[in-house]
Each structure stands twice: as C-alpha cells, then as structure tokens.
Amino acid sequence: MANAQPQTSGIKIAQPGWDSRTCPDYQLIFSSSWPSITIAFDQVVSGTTNSFGFLKFTVPHNLGFYPLTMAWQFSDSTQTAQLGRVFPDMDKTNVYFNSRIGQFTPNTTYYFNVKCFNLDISYPQSYTYLQSASFNTAYDASYGIKVAKSKKNVYSTDLRDFVLHSRAASPQVLAVITEQSLSTPITSGNTGKISFTNPQGYVPWLFAYVAFKNTDGSTYYAWAPPYSQSYPAVAINTDGKGTSTLTIINTATALPYGSIIALRDPLFVSTYQRVTY
Amino acid sequence: MAASDDNLMQVSQIGTTTKNAAGSQVTFNTKYPFAKLDKTNPVSFQNISIQFYTEPPAPSGTYPDIGPTTTLVYQFAHGYTYVPSTWFLMQVTPSSTVSYPPVNYQQEGTNAFFLYLGPGTGAGLTITTDATNVYFYVDKYYGGSFGLPNIIGYVLNIRAYVFVDDLSGK
C-alpha cells in the first residue's frame, strides 16, 4: 500500500502565534497535505420506476476513476426536504441508481442529489493519523485562507461560495484498503478478507465496496453495508479501536476486488447533545 | 485572493507531478470544493445521544395496522436557509432486557433498524432534513408476533455532520 508521506511542499497556514513549520496539526488552520474530502461531481438527477417499482438509471460522472459516491434522496420533486443518504453503484464513468438503494413505488419519479468525491476507492492509501484538538479556539475572521468558486465573490458571507474557507473543515481520509493488501490474489471460487484496524478511539466513518462485472465486462463497485446478512457486507468493529473486515469473493459476476475506506472527523471538537425522550 | 478559475491551484502527492496527478493523487485543487463543516456552527459536528424513557407508540399489530407508526423524537435547527447535505452514523446501546439485539451498529441513520425482533417487528430510525430543521423519527413495526418492539432503555448515539454544502447540484 502506498503511504502518503507528509508533504514537504504545498500550502500550510497556522493559527496566529504558531509556526506552521513546527506546530501540531490541530494548531493549523489549513494544510494542503491533509487528505480532506473534496467534491469532484455534484448534480441533481432523477429517475422513474417501472410498473414493478424497480428504479434503474445511469448518471455519467466522467471522472476516470472509481469515486467514493453518495446520494441524497429528496422527498419529492420540490426538493424541499431530503430523506437521507444512499450509496449507488459506480464505475470509472458512471453512477448507477438501482433498486438496491431503497424501496420505491411503481411509476414514480424520484429525485436525488449525487456527489462523487475526489477519492479513488480502488487506489490504496494510508495517511498519517493527525492529532485532534482537545478544545476549540475562536475563529478569527481576519486570518486564514479562502478561495472563492469561479464567478463568486471572495467577500461573500455564504460559505457555499467557496472552494476552501478556513472557517470550515472537512472530514479526512485515514486509509483506503483494497485487495492489494492481500498477500496473494483471490483465485476463482475462493474468498479473501481485507481489514482495517482503527487508530482512533471512536467508531470510524467506514465505507466498504466490492466489485462486480458489468454486462459489458467492465468493473463496477457496489456499496457493502454494515448490516446486511448477505454479500456484500462489511463487519465493522464497534468498540472503536478494533479491526473491521470485508470479505471479497471471486465468482463469475463478483470480481475479486474490494475496498474499505476509513475517514476521520475534522480537526475541531464536536458539540454534545443529550436528549431524553 | 481573487475569485478562482477552476484550475487556479493544484497540489499533488509527493512523487506525482501536478500535471499528471489524478484522483486521490491530487490533495488540493481549486476545481474541487471541499466538503465543508462550518466550525462556527455548533450543530455542524455533533454527537447526539437519544435515550428513551418513554415508549413511542407501536401499531396495534392487527392488519392493516402493522406499521410503520412514526414518532418524532428529536429535532434541531441547522441554521441554514436551504436543505444541506448530512451524514449520520448511529450506534445503539441496546436495553439489557433484550437478549438478542441483532443489530447494535449502523453506518447510516436513515431507515436504520436498531431493534429487530422478527419479520415485520422492530424499530428503526429515520432522519430527514428540510430547509430549517433536522428531524429524528422512530418507526415502529409490529405484525402481532414476536412481542412488542419496546425501546425504553435504548440509547441511540448518533454522530452528525451537517455540511455547509447544499443539494442543489450547483
């Protein structure tokens, strides 16, 4: 697996009073070597179910790699509410919506926002575990970095207008584990297991995918949920520091490729909300 | 810094030239906006713990009243004027009175079962978001068999991200 080395070049901005060359990660406002999640494709799409309630449509992303992909289902055509996140299939060119992502009413049009992140799930990577802050420092609007999107004003107060803004932080990639971590390839009719051991003290954001063969012989990836009783499924360790495993099988249609993608929280402290019902 | 062109800046991983870098080899490119959590918005990154001291209602179990019976158990204002993208990760601390909780962990808190007693009987969490609030609903299913899907004593621990980024695709 390729270990992403700490960058010796790039952009690094420290909080006021700290030396960006020597300060800990959590005192940095921004570092271009952080493997932050960025959005490479973002579109609203729709598809109509058939008379049996099956949903099937394709959305080209044309990124040329297998991107980590998520979609949010809208409640209806008004798109004034979203019902949550789903994980459609994808390959190097397209996102595939099908009935694996939910249950649908026949002859009904469904609307989704689909986002492909600039993260190739077939490309193994391991990143340094950055230390989080134990407390938050106040945001200083007079200091930092911001890059506005094309044709947007850099003085905008709407964070959506920015590619990058030091008032915002992103989830980061910890590791992409693929079948390449196996000592030997999975031969036909056999299975293999890839695993990820979490260095964090909490349950990680962990997504898993396995590969299948398209009708044209090309490869696509399907999400492996953590709760499925059948293939594909990932067993996520729940105590925070354990090992999670993904079984990969090699059959006529299931290809011997798979990925575990582990993310970490952004480098600022969460708030805690206790609710009783 | 002035408003960017799409390819104003790019930083690639060590050993990869910026010219040839693609996908994960690109660590920073102004063409790809960051997924943004506003550090000044206290609800952007939360750990929410919902503990049940009261039993949300269940269907009667007599067809057709078999569920889902949906109950709003929590909501919060996200502070934006549009529908944001969200991530939720739910962990469940089951009641000790349930000897066989088949699911004690869910990646995603939408339509996510956290109690399954048998076919057609259980409880799940659905999280929806509109232009003002994030809503947490418990959905109960009961088909008259396997016992009532009672959840008093359950604790749902939810890691929540509410992103700045909207779902307009623009």
Is B3 within 8 Å of A146 when comparing Cβ atoms?
Answer: no
Distance, CA of A101 to CA of A61 (rounded, Å): 19
Is A113 within 8 Å of B85 when comparing Cβ atoms?
Answer: yes
Minimal C-alpha gap between B118 and chain A (Å): 14
Q: Is the pLDDT of residue A213 over 90?
A: yes
DSSP lists the bridge partners of residue A112 as A45, A73
| Percent of all residues in chain A with a pLDDT value above 70, rounded to a whole number | 93
Distance, CA of A169 to CA of A267 (rounded, Å): 7
pLDDT at B97: 47
Q: Is the pLDDT of residue B5 over 60?
A: no
Distance, CA of B46 to CA of B37 (rounded, Å): 11
User: Domain residue spans in chain B?
Assistant: 1-31, 45-162
Residue among A140, A127, A160, A162 at smallest CA distance from A14: A140
Closest chain A residue to the Cα of B49, Cα to Cα:
A274
In chain B, residues with a C-beta closer than 8 Å to the C-beta of A82 are: 83, 85-86, 128-130, 167
pLDDT at B3: 40
Is A236 within 8 Å of B6 when comparing Cβ atoms?
Answer: no
Q: What is the ipTM of this complex?
A: 0.91
pLDDT at B91: 80
pTM of the model: 0.91
pLDDT at A205: 87
- Both tokens of B94, joined, read 């089951």
Most confident of A65-79, A127-141, A261-275: A65-79
Minimal C-alpha gap between A225 and chain B (Å): 8
Distance, CA of A246 to CA of B89 (rounded, Å): 19
What is the identity of the amino acid at A88?
P
pLDDT single digits (tens) B89-100? 888 765 544 434
What is the identity of the amino acid at B48?
I
> Contact at 8 Å (CB) between A47 and A57?
yes
pLDDT at A240: 67
| Percent of all residues in chain B with a pLDDT value above 70, rounded to a whole number | 84
H or E, element range at A190: none
pLDDT at A36: 85
pLDDT at A7: 55
H or E, element range at B116: strand B112-118
CB pairs under 8 A between A and B: 263
Higher-scoring residue by pLDDT: B56, A13: B56
Selecting from A10, A83, A114 the residue whose C-beta is nearest the C-beta of B11 gives A10
* CB contact set of A262 (below 8 Å; sequence gap of 6+): A173, A174, A175, A176, A177, A196, A198, A204, A205, A206
Strands (E) across A109-251 are located at: 109-120, 125-126, 146-148, 162-165, 168-169, 172-178, 191-197, 205-213, 219-223, 234-235, 243-249
Q: Is the pLDDT of residue A244 over 60?
A: yes
pLDDT single digits (tens) B115-133? 888 888 989 899 999 999 9
pLDDT at A266: 82
> Contact at 8 Å (CB) between B76 and A273?
yes
Greatest alpha-carbon pair distance for chain A in Å reads 64
As a whole number, mean pLDDT of residues B30-51 equals 92
Higher-scoring residue by pLDDT: B150, B112: B150
Strands B45-51 and A271-276: parallel
Distance, CA of A91 to CA of A67 (rounded, Å): 8
A203: pLDDT confidence band, cut at 50, 70 and 90? Answer: confident
Q: What is the mean pLDDT of chain B?
A: 84
- A19-33, A215-229, B29-43: range with lowest mean pLDDT: A19-33
pLDDT at B96: 46
A235: pLDDT confidence band, cut at 50, 70 and 90? Answer: confident
- A31-35, A158-162, A186-190, A213-217: range with lowest mean pLDDT: A31-35
> Contact at 8 Å (CB) between A192 and A246?
no
Question: Contacts for A159-164 with beta carbons within 8 Å, 24 or more apart?
Answer: A159/B36, A159/B38, A159/B164, A160/B164, A160/B165, A160/B166, A162/B33, A162/B36, A163/B4, A163/B30, A163/B31, A163/B32, A163/B33, A163/B34, A164/A30, A164/B28, A164/B30, A164/B33, A164/B34
Q: What is the mean pLDDT of chain A?
A: 87
pLDDT at B8: 67
pLDDT at A8: 61
- Both tokens of A239, joined, read 């105590």
Minimal C-alpha gap between B138 and chain A (Å): 11
pLDDT at A133: 67
Candidates A162, A203, A227, A237: best to mutate against B (most CBs of B within 10 A) is A227
Is A118 within 8 Å of B24 when comparing Cβ atoms?
Answer: yes
Higher-scoring residue by pLDDT: A27, B167: B167
